[in-house]
Homo-oligomer: A and B are copies of this chain.
């Protein structure tokens, strides 16, 4: 049975969804949960869940809390007993097989990089965001904010890591890997995408070239590679748009009596619809490239998101995603020394 450390103090509504999601995971999944944070706070929160003492949940005390406003570099130097850092140490020391955090993304990345270290041959960790496609199976956008001003070489590494993740966690046989650009034709793009395409083309991947923003949700590609600035904008624009659409839809439904009746009758359909658009079903984004399983959740994660993130963490650990990334990068380096050294 695998063990996952959950940073219980990180999210916007911590520790409520973290504790509730962990309890749900411990009840329904084959997993041990280490809840990391202030012991008294977590014990009080856990006591609200009947029979939690019989569940495979333990509290691991951490005296400090990283806030969303904290500067990641400063957190590294000062908050050495934060819930994120204690969770990372549990992974490093083999007490946990992965960690889940809905906390300050920059701080989680910095701590993961420092405490766990990088997989040999990977320059920078990348955040891989799974998202729904019209074809039903999820695709993954990498990177969505861990790195800005990426180099072509970094994008090549993102492509390799995304490919491994898609194969092992989404069980895609030969993931179609695309690069996010502004036209399908090869000559369209910016300096980065053009140079990165040249690199990625030489890798043992099913590379399909440029993918446009409108193809993100079509399932046209299983792995979409981009600089973290662009990926973060794409992700946040999508989130914002889903919110506005929900709002406009609700307003439209409230405009006439017939619409209101229609709304009541179609409530289940709208509920299904919302569920399909719901980020929390996808359970967080893996931070790939660090030596250890790290799943980063949205700050406003609910209990469902935490529960699913714990599932994703156990899958990543049991499928040995990191070992496979290490071997793929090593293979790439031995075959293309000049790229890896570039």
- A interface residue numbers (CB < 8 A to B): 132-134, 145, 148-149, 180-182, 189-191, 193, 212-218, 226-230, 232-245, 247-249, 252-253, 255-256, 258-259, 261-270, 272-273, 276-277
Residue of A182, A212, A227, A230 with most chain B CB atoms under a 10 A cut-off: A182
Of B189, B238, B248, the residue contacting A237 (CB under 8 A) is B238
- A–B pairs, 15, beta carbons within 8 Å: A134-B244, A149-B190, A190-B229, A193-B229, A212-B236, A214-B237, A214-B239, A217-B241, A218-B240, A237-B238, A238-B238, A238-B241, A252-B276, A255-B269, A266-B266
> What is the chain B residue whose CB lies nearest that of A217?
B244
Given contacts A237-B214, A238-B237, A242-B245, contact A189 B255 (CB under 8 A): no
Chain B positions within 8 Å of A191 at CB level: 148-149
Chain B positions within 8 Å of A269 at CB level: 249, 252-253, 255-256, 259, 262-263
Distance of A123 Cα from B233 Cα, bound (Å): 26
Of B232, B261, B277, the residue contacting A213 (CB under 8 A) is B232
**B239 adjacent to A148 (CB under 8 Å):** no
Chain B positions within 8 Å of A272 at CB level: 252, 255
Chain B positions within 8 Å of A267 at CB level: 262
Chain B positions within 8 Å of A149 at CB level: 190-191
**B261 adjacent to A265 (CB under 8 Å):** yes
**A213 adjacent to B240 (CB under 8 Å):** yes
Chain B positions within 8 Å of A145 at CB level: 182
